[in-house]
Structure 1
């Protein structure tokens, strides 16, 4: 049986990859989830991407999930007629007006910053690739000295440590964008700059009022979110570690251990976690990654990340397909060396968790070729995933939504089955036959089955058995 990559790959879709042909190439290279960054683009552009992704999914047995990433209460630089080449020591001006007079200047999207910032503060742009020291505040202008050479492009993120942005957690633009996502049936909402659990609960309440079922991924990119992480995790469906902004909000040397801690806490409650930002950033312009990037990706996988994310690499880089192929290679090479993480410790758990733990133990002891979990929600597959078992996990589901939302869960491949089976045996037999027809299983394979009796009741996993495929 061919080794199936377990770690999922999230690709940001941009100008280089928004065509149907490019999306097909990304999917063949290994894309599991398509991220749409709503900090950029208009609804016509984003709608076309979604249309192309849905057309792509018609030909895939494992559809690509769609993740809408909100802009959030962030600060960005303005649009530029052309990129600005900066040199250390240059004078540079930020303005809170809608237009800028200076050639060496740009606008800022957050107007109130003029009242909060002071001389001596540092402004970081583009994930701190560019640094500016504030020298003076004059009317609507923030006059700075450039601290390092670099290139300033349009609409780059801005961070000013120590300044809290006085904007709601869900801005008017975010609400409009989320409504657009609901209309187009996206699978995930990644909510930016979460500070506490109330930010997540506000979004959940809004989605509930709209009758929407997409899952919420909380982005951890603010120091307040680190301090309140366990409460945020409790009310979220998954987590994204957005290391760019997070690494500016706090001392960068603390970031590796915070990443490790977040991943471990997500694993413990069977919620998917995405490690993001600068994973293969050198491949924006180069066909090969740096050795440090390869090690970074591998370490995230070894720590327990469910997914790794590509941003500029696939959105506007010169080597988008190659970036996914490289990520795929690193994942596979790392996973082969990984150990399972099955504990016999029993804590307060649901029946689904208990069955999942038992199945994980059995699969390791008998070296099962696969685990087939018949599921309405994907919950059992997630409960199994956290143990990082060697056996392949197949989520057998009649729900199209589950086919896509399991695209973020480590080690899980979802397959469509019919609904309304009369008996458990018929359902299991047909599930096995469908995987044999796809070449996933063959005679002689040993598989473990999990399901719920009675059939069709979500959260009712209470059965496990071992079968040899005939």
Structure 2
């Protein structure tokens, strides 16, 4: 049973039902809908496709909506433009701009913030421009490196703090669309402060929706304000594409390590994304560097890995899934237990102590599994960080808690109906279900941790049990 969770981005390459079914059979845990591309009709078709596949398989992938956010992008071109170092190129903030060596840019306020000698990095930094002249609605630049400019490419402005809202009008409309289609997660692009997340959570509260919010760390400000962002987020995504343009690329590996560790400490899921198997967009096999990168992310403590272009537009979406699945399964064999690493923390809450006790018991007794009955998910999240060599089965009456496990390392969730049940009946029900699925056998040792509310007695305890 693979413990690392996999997220696949849906797109033209994975929209065919047959392809989608093959990918689900290999085993992804969530699908990403990238709202930087496509329209509502296209997204609706993708959602319909995944919902049809769900009916045929036991695994029920979650839906993750990835907002476009305050992205700055170039305009649409009739044809790609070949640029050579030293060329002069123009960006216009008007809606239309007809020039052989120029294109539009979708942020009209850019003129206010840009200065002579500032740099514009386009298409994830593949093209670099230096500002030479600034006019009323045109920015004249010098091309610093040769390449091809296509339509609708991202624009990054290193060290320029433009004042743009984290949630745009488009994002709100996209989120409303997602709510109608029962999305499970929202990944928020270009988060800068905790207030960006609080604003979205307040909006969801008004809509009476309790959807998991994932903060994408892809801006310099997000790195600086990470601790406060983590505090209010349900999970974190290390979005290495834009992050590697916003900050010096040589800093990305260490920042990724720091983010993963901080997420592990508080028991919140962390996703590593972008360029995992990027060469497989065109090639049937990954590079050795990509293989090492993926493996190291898992060993560092990543809960989930996300494929982007590999499954959205690549030539080998199914093969990419197979490669990532194999890499995860093989690397997990070498993940060390982290009881020593997290077992001696100076600051501990009751939940930290309980999670440590559960993990310690499970490890020392060589338990077959851990069963967590919960309405908060906090202890379950903390147990996962110890990376003990057994699955964690989370039973909860709350959909939000069950959804959360779809991005948590080693956790697998089931619905728990507690109405009118005694604690003994609940324990019997959970063990019976896991026996039926061949996860447990008679004489297996299981560790049961319970944190439920209501009239159940007792409703907060840890028990060691031998399966009958």
User: Could you tell me the TM-score, scaled by structure 2's length?
Assistant: 0.93
Contact 1:218 1:232 in 2 (8 A): yes
Post-superposition Cα deviations, 1:127-176, rounded to whole Å, max 9, x if no partner, equal: 11222233333443323333334333322211021222222221111111
Contact 1:82 1:153 in 2 (8 A): yes
Match of 1:253 among 230, 236, 250: 250
Could you say which residue in structure 2 is the equivalent of 1:191? Answer: 188
* Partner Cα distance (1:416, 1:112) in 2: 49
* Partner Cα distance (2:130, 2:452) in 1: 64
Unaligned runs of 5+ in 2: none
Could you say which residue in structure 1 is the equivalent of 2:353? Answer: 354
* Partner Cα distance (2:82, 2:314) in 1: 19
Contact 2:197 2:232 in 1 (8 A): yes
Deviates more, 1:199-208 or 1:51-60: 51-60
| 1:87-126 aligned within 5 A | 87-126=84-123
Number of residue pairs aligned between Structure 1 and Structure 2: 465
Match of 2:263 among 257, 263, 266: 266
Contact 2:453 2:459 in 1 (8 A): no
Contact 1:403 1:416 in 2 (8 A): yes
Contact 2:8 2:308 in 1 (8 A): yes
SS of 1:92 mapped into structure 2: strand
1:393 aligns with 2:392: yes
User: Could you tell me the TM-score, scaled by structure 1's length?
Assistant: 0.93
1:62 aligns with 2:46: no
Could you say which residue in structure 2 is the equivalent of 1:40? Answer: 37
| 1:229-308 aligned within 5 A | 229-308=226-305
Could you say which residue in structure 2 is the equivalent of 1:10? Answer: 7
* Partner Cα distance (2:203, 2:325) in 1: 36
**Structure 1 residue 393 displacement after superposition:** 0.9
**Structure 1 residue 270 displacement after superposition:** 0.6
* Partner Cα distance (1:266, 1:130) in 2: 33
Q: 1:9 to 1:64 in 2, by over 3 A?
A: same
Could you say which residue in structure 2 is the equivalent of 1:451? Answer: 450
Could you say which residue in structure 2 is the equivalent of 1:463? Answer: 461
Match of 2:307 among 305, 310, 315: 310
* Partner Cα distance (1:435, 1:48) in 2: 35
* Partner Cα distance (1:135, 1:156) in 2: 21
SS of 1:241 mapped into structure 2: strand
Could you say which residue in structure 2 is the equivalent of 1:168? Answer: 165
Post-superposition Cα deviations, 1:73-94, rounded to whole Å, max 9, x if no partner, equal: 1201122334334444444322
Could you say which residue in structure 2 is the equivalent of 1:80? Answer: 77
SS of 1:324 mapped into structure 2: helix
Contact 2:33 2:63 in 1 (8 A): yes
Q: 1:193 to 1:259 in 2, by over 3 A?
A: same
Unaligned runs of 5+ in 1: none
Contact 1:380 1:461 in 2 (8 A): no
Contact 1:62 1:414 in 2 (8 A): no
Contact 1:420 1:456 in 2 (8 A): no
SS of 2:131 mapped into structure 1: strand
**Structure 1 residue 400 displacement after superposition:** 4.0
1:367 aligns with 2:351: no
* Partner Cα distance (1:21, 1:153) in 2: 31
Could you say which residue in structure 1 is the equivalent of 2:145? Answer: 148
Contact 1:8 1:410 in 2 (8 A): yes
Deviates more, 1:300-309 or 1:140-149: 140-149
**Structure 1 residue 39 displacement after superposition:** 1.2
Q: 1:145 to 1:369 in 2, by over 3 A?
A: same
Q: CA RMSD of the aligned region, Å?
A: 2.1
**Structure 1 residue 258 displacement after superposition:** 1.1
